[in-house]
Structure formats: structure tokens, C-alpha cells
Amino acid sequence: MTLRPGHDEDLPALAALEEEAFGADAWSAATLGELVSAAGRRLLVAERDGEVVGYVLTALAGDFADLLRIAVAASARREGVASMLVDAAVLAAAADGADRMLLEVSEANAGAQAFYRRRGFTEIDRRPGYYRDGSAALVMLRELPAPERMDP
Ligand SMILES: CC(C)(COP(=O)(O)OP(=O)(O)OC[C@H]1O[C@@H](n2cnc3c(N)ncnc32)[C@H](O)[C@@H]1OP(=O)(O)O)[C@@H](O)C(=O)NCCC(=O)NCCS
């Protein structure tokens, strides 16, 4: 498994991951292209045997970073891929000067909530009716280590 920054050439593979993970709410390659090219965005891709099996997209906004999206191919789940992606995104955000990472996750997405809790995120807020299907969003937070205190 290798992690690397994502490029425009990855967008079709990421759109396929989106389709598999989010169905009707999937982002197209065009939408992804716009989102990843905005200021402060970091796109990290996980690759196995030359195939993209996961990705994470974050946005730096001053002293915090937003985790905008994470998805892993169904065939590669529960193997630590998303954990590697989040840990790398956390290190990068801390190196960029962020002291916390925030995200929204649907109250209906129990699997993702369990994953985020396992990665050190805690619920700090709830936004009713946040998603198109009417479900609420949980806002979750992870404090980031200061770069000088991070292990090499
Ligand atoms: C959520 C998601 C990114 C997790 O990816 P993953 O690579 O399977 O996660 P990891 O293997 O790193 O999981 C680490 C730990 O998190 C927890 N976890 C992960 N997925 C879980 C699930 N579906 N149910 C319960 N716990 C889960 C487990 O404790 C797991 O450790 P274990 O496998 O030893 O039990 C993946 O299931 C996915 O792509 N889902 C669809 C897209 C999505 O919902 N994204 C998040 C909202 S934007």
C-alpha cells in the first residue's frame, strides 16, 4: 500500500470510488476536479498494486482543517486503508499549522462514525436536517498535535 498526493489523472478512479461509496450523493469527476483544485485543499490517494483503493480530501482554513471526504473501495475495507489516510492527513494539516480537524458525518452512517471515533474524533455538535435525506449531521473534532511534538 502506498500513499501519495492525488492528481488530475486520478479523478476518474476517484469518481468510481465515489459512485460505489455514496451512490446518488457521489461526486462526479468534474465536481471532484473543482473541489480538489480550490485553495487549501489536500488530496491523498491510497494505491495498491497500481489501483486506487481510497482517498481523503481535506481543506485548510486558518487554524483548522476540514475533512471533506474519505472513501475506501468496498473490496479494501477493514484493512486499515482509511486509518492510514486519516493519519497522513492529520500530520499534513498539523504541519500546515492547523490545531484541530473537523468533519461532518451523517447520523445514519454508523460505520463511518465508529471509524472516526476509533481515529480519535469526538462529537461536538449536531446539525438537524443537514443532509438531503433529512438526516442530521454530527460534527466531530480531533485535536491535532503541534508539529514539534509529533513523532518523526
Ligand atoms: C468509513 C470508511 C472510510 C472506513 O474505511 P476502512 O479503510 O474500512 O477503515 P479502517 O480499516 O481504517 O478501520 C479502522 C477501524 O475503524 C472502525 N471501523 C471502520 N469501518 C467500520 C464499520 N463499517 N463499522 C464499524 N467500525 C468500523 C473499526 O474499529 C476499524 O478497525 P477494525 O477493522 O480492526 O475493527 C469506509 O467504510 C468507507 O469508505 N465507507 C463509505 C464512505 C463513507 O461513509 N465515508 C465517510 C463519510 S464522508
Domain ranges of the chain: 2-149
* Residues 107/61, Cβ–Cβ less than 8 Å: no
Q: Looking at domain 2-149, which CATH architecture does it have?
A: 3-Layer(aba) Sandwich (3.40)
Rg (CA), the chain: 15
Task: Report the separation in Å between the CA atom of 92 and the middle of ligand 1, taken as the mean of its atom positions.
Answer: 21
Give me the amino acid identity at 133.
D
Say what the pLDDT of residue 145 is.
81
Task: Report the separation in Å between the CA atom of 96 and the middle of ligand 1, taken as the mean of its atom positions.
Answer: 26
Checking if the pLDDT of 109 tops 60, the result is yes
Report the relative pairing of strands 64-72 and 122-127 from DSSP bridges.
unpaired
Mutate to test the pocket of ligand 1, among 115, 138, 139 (most ligand atoms within 8 A of CB): 115
Q: Is the CB of residue 71 below 6 angstroms from any atom belonging to ligand 1?
A: yes
Q: Cell 473541489 appears where? A: 35
Task: Give the integer Cα–Cα distance in Å for 66 and 22.
Answer: 19
Neighbouring-strand partners of residue 139: 104, 125
Label residue 84 left, alpha or beta by phi (over 0 means left) and psi (-120 to 50 means alpha): alpha
pTM: 0.95
Say what the pLDDT of residue 59 is.
98
Neighbouring-strand partners of residue 100: 64, 143
Neighbouring-strand partners of residue 142: 101
* Residues 73/20, Cβ–Cβ less than 8 Å: yes
67-107 pLDDT tens trace: 999 999 999 999 999 999 999 999 999 999 999 999 999 99
Q: Is the CB of residue 115 below 6 angstroms from any atom belonging to ligand 1?
A: yes
Say what the pLDDT of residue 64 is.
97
Say what the pLDDT of residue 146 is.
80
DSSP state of 77: T
Q: Residue 152: which pLDDT band, with cuts at 50, 70 and 90?
A: low
